[in-house]
């Protein structure tokens, strides 16, 4: 059996997800690039295999129970384990691509359901599905791609630097994801599995804004990659941006 580390990255066909897969592959990790559409995953994986990396494509709509079960079966049959899970897939409200529209009390039920289903519930369910495979790794790593917008502490600060980015559905889902990180990390203490939340930064992506965002995609992936490759002495149950710990 191949003893090389195996990583699954969701939403890996473009943006930070693809760059995360690429940087992990550059570190010798076998990467499985997951996307809602198989063709998109295959196209992204082909870019990496064309550079000589070990990359595989997987159709995985994280909101689909059938796809989640199929993903676990594929990884079990193909690799027999999973070393790294990067929960990168996520969405923003359709009318707030810049995440700067405040409409707290008017947030629709449809928006809450879309955002929480993709950005929180599906991550919990997928992680649960893949946990048996992570436990077969000598050093499993779970990286939940969160956002500084999920920090209650920073939102509550006087003159908060993120005061202009109040989108209740998105921010609350990321806060919930951070709570999942805290709880799961605590439950998995002693297993060798480390669970952390990553804030990529404000990155030039379709979600973050191609013009306004100050960070390049190559830098936006660095936090997830570092957390995915943490050594035995690395932290767990933390909220991190690059080498800085953020408040919950």
Residues catalogued as catalytic: 170, 174
Q: What is the DSSP letter of 126?
A: H
Q: Which two tokens stand for residue 213?
A: 């965002």
Q: Given strand 141-145, what is the order of strands in its sheet?
A: 55-59, 30-35, 6-9, 84-87, 141-145, 194-198, 239-241, 244-245
Task: Report the C-alpha gap between 170 and 234 in whole angstroms.
Answer: 29
- Cβ 16 vs Cβ 33: under 8 Å: no
Query: Residues 99, 159, 179, CA angle at the centre, nearest 5°?
Result: 55
Residue 87: C-alpha distances to residues 12, 55, 84, 90 (Å)? 10, 17, 10, 9
Torsion angle, CA of 107/176/154/142, rounded to 10 degrees?
-140
Rounded to whole angstroms, how far apart are CA atoms 69 and 126? Answer: 8
CA 231 to chain CA centroid, nearest Å: 19
DSSP-derived secondary structure for 143-176:
EEE--GGG-HHHHHSTT-TTTT---HHHHHHHHH
Is residue 44 a contact partner of residue 13, using CB atoms and an 8 Å limit?
yes
């Amino acid at each position: 059996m191949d003893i090389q580390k195996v990583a699954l990255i969701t939403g890996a066909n473009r943006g930070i997800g693809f760059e995360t897969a690429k940087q992990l592959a550059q570190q010798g990790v076998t990467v499985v690039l997951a996307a809602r559409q198989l063709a998109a995953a295959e196209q992204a994986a082909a870019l990496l295999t064309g550079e000589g990396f070990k990359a595989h494509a997987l159709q995985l709509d994280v909101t689909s129970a059938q796809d989640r079960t199929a993903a676990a079966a594929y990884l079990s049959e193909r690799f027999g384990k999973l070393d790294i899970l990067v929960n990168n897939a996520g969405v923003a409200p359709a009318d707030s691509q810049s995440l700067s529209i405040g409409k707290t009390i008017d947030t629709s039920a449809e928006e809450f359901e879309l955002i929480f289903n993709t950005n929180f519930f599906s991550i919990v369910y997928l992680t649960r599905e893949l946990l048996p495979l992570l436990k077969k790794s000598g050093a499993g790593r779970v990286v939940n791609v969160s956002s500084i917008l999920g920090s209650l502490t920073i939102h509550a600060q006087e003159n908060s630097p993120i005061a202009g980015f109040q989108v209740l559905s998105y921010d609350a889902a990321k806060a919930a994801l951070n709570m999942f990180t805290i709880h799961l990390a605590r439950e998995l203490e002693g297993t060798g599995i480390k669970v952390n939340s990553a804030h990529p930064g404000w990155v030039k992506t379709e979600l973050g804004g191609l013009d306004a965002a100050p960070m390049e995609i190559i830098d936006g992936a660095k936090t997830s990659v570092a957390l995915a490759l943490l050594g035995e002495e690395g932290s767990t149950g933390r909220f991190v941006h690059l080498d800085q710990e953020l408040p919950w």
